[in-house]
Amino acid sequence: AKTSGGGALHVYKPELSERVDNRFAMEAMMKMGLAEGQFHAYFQAKRDLKTGRIAGAEALCRWMHPDKGMISPADFIPVAEETGLILQIGNQMLAQACDMAVRCNGPGRPRFVVAVNVSPKQLLHGGFLCDVRRVLEDSGCRAQWLELEITESLLLADLEETVELLEALAEMGLMITIDDFGTGYSAMSYLSRFPIKCLKIDQSFVRDMAQDPEKQILVRAILAMAQGLGLKTVAEGVEDAAAAALLSELDCDYGQGYLWHRPVPAHNFYQLLAASRVA
C-alpha cells in the first residue's frame, strides 16, 4: 500500500487505531469505575413556572474518575452504549434516582418526580421492565415518583415492541417524557400512539429564544400542539429571565436551566429542596 499511491490511507490509519485504543482503554476504565462506584447522579431542579416551586428533578450522570476528575456524559455515554455498559450505568442511575425520590416524597408533601434519561439500547435490551420493577422494590420508590426521559428517535426504532413496553411502564404509573423534542424526526404520528405524558422542548430552541424570533415561533408552535394534545411541557436550557418570562406567558408548565439551578450532587440537591420548601 505504501507505493501504490493513496496517501489518504497513511493519514487516517494512525488516527483510527488511536481511536480504537482509546475505546478499549475507556471500556476497561468504565468497568473499573462501575465496580468502584464512580458514577454518580447529579440532580437538576425542574421548576413549576406557575408557582415558582421546585416540582421535580432530572438525574444526570457524572463520572468521578480518581485521576481524570469529572467526566461528562457526552464523553462516555456513546462508548457505554456501544459496549453495553450503559445497562449497568443505567441501573445505577435508576437506583440513585429512586433513592432521591424516596427522600423527597412523603406524607404531607407535594408529589416530587425524579426523571432519569434512558438510552434506546437500555430501554430495548429485553430486561428493562424487570430492572425497573426491581429498582422500585429495592428502594421503596413508587412508580408515580419516577419519570423516564426518552429521545424521539427511539420511538421510530421498533414500533410494536416499543409501544408495548412503554404501555407496560405507563400502566405501572411511570411518567414517560419525550426528551429533546424538536430535534429528531418530524413524523409526529407517534405522539398519539405512545403513552406519553410530557414533551421536553430542546434547549437549542429555548436558550436564546427571547432574542431570536424564529425560535420563538417554534417554541410557540410546540407548546400549542402539546397543550392541544393535553401533554405537560418542560423547557430545558432556560438561561435568562427574558426566556423564562416568555415561557410563563405561553403557559409552559415547567422550566429547567442555569437561570435557576445547575445540576448538583445528591446531598446539595436535597438541601436546596428542603430550603426551598421552608421558604
Binding segment for Ca ion (CB under 5 A), chosen from 66-74, 112-120, 217-225, 252-260, is 112-120
Smallest gap from residue 194 Cβ to ligand C2E (A): 18
Query: Which C-beta is closer to Ca ion: that of 99 or that of 149?
Result: 149
93 binds ligand C2E, rule: CB under 6 A = yes
Residue whose entry in the numeric block shows the C-alpha cell 457526552:
74
What residue type is 213 in one-letter code? P
- Own/partner pairs, 259-262, CB within 8 angstroms, 24+ separation: 260/45, 260/47, 261/44, 261/45, 261/47, 261/54, 262/44
What CA–CA distance (Å, rounded) separates 96 from 114?
A: 10
On whether the CB atoms of residues 94 and 127 are closer than 8 A, the answer is no
Query: Which C-beta is closer to Ca ion: that of 46 or that of 141?
Result: 46
What CA–CA distance (Å, rounded) separates 136 from 133?
A: 5
72 binds ligand C2E, rule: CB under 6 A = yes
117 binds Ca ion, rule: CB under 5 A = yes
Smallest gap from residue 67 Cβ to ligand C2E (A): 20
How many positions of this chain bind Ca ion (CB under 5 A)? 4
Query: Which C-beta is closer to ligand C2E: that of 17 or that of 146?
Result: 146
On whether the CB atoms of residues 60 and 266 are closer than 8 A, the answer is no
What CA–CA distance (Å, rounded) separates 47 from 249?
A: 15
Smallest gap from residue 151 Cβ to Ca ion (A): 8
Chain residues in the site for Ca ion (CB under 5 A)? 117, 149, 179-180
Chain residues in the site for ligand C2E (CB under 6 A)? 44, 60-61, 72-74, 77, 90, 93, 117-119, 149, 179-180, 203, 236-239, 256-258, 263
